[in-house]
Structure 1
Amino acid sequence: MSDQPGSEGADSAEAGAVRRFWTRLGLPGLVDVHTHFMPESVLRKVWAYFDSAGPLTRVEWPVVYRYGEDTRLALLRDFGVRAFTAMLYPHKPGMAAWLNGWAAQFAARTPDCLHTATFYPEPGAEAYVRQAVEAGARVFKSHVQVGAYDPGDPLLDPVWGLLSEAGVPVVMHCGSGPAPGKHTGPGPVARMLARHPRLPLIVAHMGMPEYGDFLKIAERHPGVRLDTTMAFTDFVEATAPFPRAELGRLADLGDRVLLGSDFPNVPYRYVHQLDALARLGLGDDWLRAVCYGNGARLFGVGTGAAAG
């Protein structure tokens, strides 16, 4: 995976713009809870899927940051991202434990990456999730759409219970965007939370396109948060706009909204996600909380200890 030619100048200019964004807000940087790092062979397949405009995307999706791992890490740091994740996920049984092994090694050599892990509804899931937690995993990724599984699958009950007890958040792609799946949408998540109400769940992509339904779930469950990944951007607003009538509810939940970007797998520049948040008009205090404060508090960024 070689770096794209002619991108260095654009990246440098963008880094300046990103740093001006958080400097103006008086922040020490950004906390991004939804970035992707994974084994090179897996990432190549993910990018090939985006290139093919596969059935879960259905649109052209030119990945902007198609760089080698070292370049991607350097760029995030140049942006001023103080903590980020290595979101990775299995699409079939037998993958999760292997991915977790890679992620543990990545976290060990990348101290600003929050140790990330994943799982799949399969025998043995509780054991390898427990192993990951004991090894220091600070956040998990669940991809209901790609994995095509019900979060209420009985095989996941002990996983949800374990994560609830440990206070380790799980970022879940559970909304029906960009294309609905058999188990996407608010219903399966609400049923799962009825059994595990203390689970620290982070709904990826603001739950698009079922924004209002997932806001309601967050209002009912104090441990539920939402990340901004791709939401409010021009790319998403063209097909799944956030309803402006819900902006008041979004403002009220400002202490439980977290910055997410989907870096590097985005078809636009990183700074656009930040600009899209600013143009919502919810104020600088809301931006400070979303772009740094909420994530820093949840993960103990700058304190040396994770917060549950």
Structure 2
Amino acid sequence: MSATPDTADTAGQARAGAATAAATAEAVRAFRERLAVPALVDVHTHFMPERVLDKVWGYFDSVGPLTGVAWPIVYRHEEERRVALLREFGVRAFTAMLYPHKPAMAAWLNSWAAEFAARTPDCLHTATFFPEEGVETYVRQAVERGARVFKAHLQVGGYDPNDERLEPVWGLLAEAGIPVVVHCGSGPAPGRHTGPGPIGRLLARHPRLPLIVAHMGMPEYAEFLDLAARHREVRLDTTMAFTDFSERLAAFPADRLGRLADLGDRILLGTDFPNIPYPYEHQLAALERLGLGDAWLRAVCHDNGARLFSLR
């Protein structure tokens, strides 16, 4: 019996997706071979409960007001396939970046993330928080359950990192030495508490907090690089930065390439997989074309992350 049009379309899309994945895996393998990098450490990938991720994808599909641009998601697959793809791409460690946009959500997300990490050993156990009653309790519980990295999204959450309810949380994470990936830059659209000012005030109180600025602080690249230069425990991830997509929206300033090179030990590979509008290897190609050298690339794509998370 011949396939129905819908079945044929689905089968064709599956074949095209498999071919794209194979091409990406080959491109990433070639990249790693050129650099003599055994694997990649990607500190900014998203895994969430299915119903939450569906809403995130729906937002991108609708050209949401924060982005304002078409955002076709390349890796729109079931969870098991997305994990398999990262492994095919040679990623030895990745994260499950997830974040609440309202109260009474973070603890539930943390429970899901703990279960996901338990069944996915190459995922760095990720957790999150929101300024609300009980936040210190569930953050401490996440730490006790083995959380290795936290995510805070000031833009989506719409909160000030200096909210007094978060003060014990920052102190706890600084004392434990657990990194926090924070979306604090004003891209793709400014929020009430984005930009280097609020984070600068936070770091003045918690200078030992291992904070990772997501997206290189886009579009305030220069200001966040300067912040990292002043604070030894501040790092930046490359998520979407330097790509053709982002350069059209917020180009990295050429006069800051020297500072980027100087901070090479504190730049970490991040990609935003699976929520990206281009193939995974484009992020790597975008980093390579900066021309900062093989040693810088090896550090960014593997060594810095492996050292931060004590990967063996």
Give the TM-score normalised by structure 2: 0.95
Of residues 30, 35, 59, the one that matches 1:25 is 35
Of residues 151, 168, 192, the one that matches 2:161 is 151
Partner in structure 1 of residue 80 of structure 2:
70
Q: Which runs of 5+ in 1 are unaligned?
A: 303-308
Of residues 90, 93, 97, the one that matches 1:80 is 90
Query: Does the residue aligned with 1:238 lie in a helix, a strand or coil?
Result: helix
CA-to-aligned-CA distance 1:3-23 (integer Å, 9 cap, x gap): 953211111111110111012
Query: Does the residue aligned with 2:270 lie in a helix, a strand or coil?
Result: coil
- How much has 1:37 moved relative to structure 2? 0.3
- How much has 1:90 moved relative to structure 2? 0.1
Query: Does the residue aligned with 1:47 lie in a helix, a strand or coil?
Result: helix
Partner in structure 1 of residue 195 of structure 2:
185
Distance in 2 of aligned mates of 1:257 and 1:134: 28
Of residues 251, 255, 275, the one that matches 1:241 is 251
Partner in structure 2 of residue 142 of structure 1:
152
Query: Does the residue aligned with 2:127 lie in a helix, a strand or coil?
Result: strand
CA-to-aligned-CA distance 1:122-156 (integer Å, 9 cap, x gap): 01111100000011000000000000000010011
Q: Which runs of 5+ in 2 are unaligned?
A: 1-9
- How much has 1:301 moved relative to structure 2? 1.3
Distance in 2 of aligned mates of 1:269 and 1:40: 22
- How much has 1:51 moved relative to structure 2? 0.4
The total of aligned residue pairs comes to: 301
Which amino acid in the other structure matches residue 106 of structure 1? F
Distance in 2 of aligned mates of 1:237 and 1:80: 26
Partner in structure 1 of residue 130 of structure 2:
120
Distance in 1 of aligned mates of 2:20 and 2:46: 21
CA contact (8 A) 1:23 1:29 kept: no
Distance in 1 of aligned mates of 2:62 and 2:311: 38
Distance in 2 of aligned mates of 1:230 and 1:283: 20
CA contact (8 A) 1:91 1:147 kept: yes
Distance in 1 of aligned mates of 2:278 and 2:68: 17
Partner in structure 2 of residue 194 of structure 1:
204
Query: Does the residue aligned with 2:63 lie in a helix, a strand or coil?
Result: coil
Which amino acid in the other structure matches residue 258 of structure 2? G
CA-to-aligned-CA distance 1:86-114 (integer Å, 9 cap, x gap): 00000000000000000000000000000
Which amino acid in the other structure matches residue 93 of structure 2? A
Q: Does 1:48 align with 2:72?
A: no
Of residues 269, 283, 304, the one that matches 2:279 is 269
Partner in structure 2 of residue 90 of structure 1:
100
Query: Does the residue aligned with 1:7 lie in a helix, a strand or coil?
Result: helix
CA contact (8 A) 1:86 1:103 kept: yes
Partner in structure 1 of residue 6 of structure 2:
none
Distance in 1 of aligned mates of 2:191 and 2:260: 25
- Give the fraction of aligned pairs with identical amino acids, expressed as a percent: 73
Distance in 1 of aligned mates of 2:246 and 2:129: 28
Distance in 2 of aligned mates of 1:77 and 1:68: 15
- How much has 1:166 moved relative to structure 2? 0.3
CA-to-aligned-CA distance 1:148-170 (integer Å, 9 cap, x gap): 00001001100000000000000
Of residues 293, 297, 305, the one that matches 1:287 is 297
Partner in structure 2 of residue 306 of structure 1:
none
Say what the alpha-carbon RMSD is for the aligned residues.
0.9
Runs of 4+ in 1 over 4 A off after TM superposition: none
Q: Does 1:259 align with 2:269?
A: yes
Of residues 157, 162, 174, the one that matches 1:164 is 174
Give the TM-score normalised by structure 1: 0.97
Distance in 1 of aligned mates of 2:215 and 2:159: 18
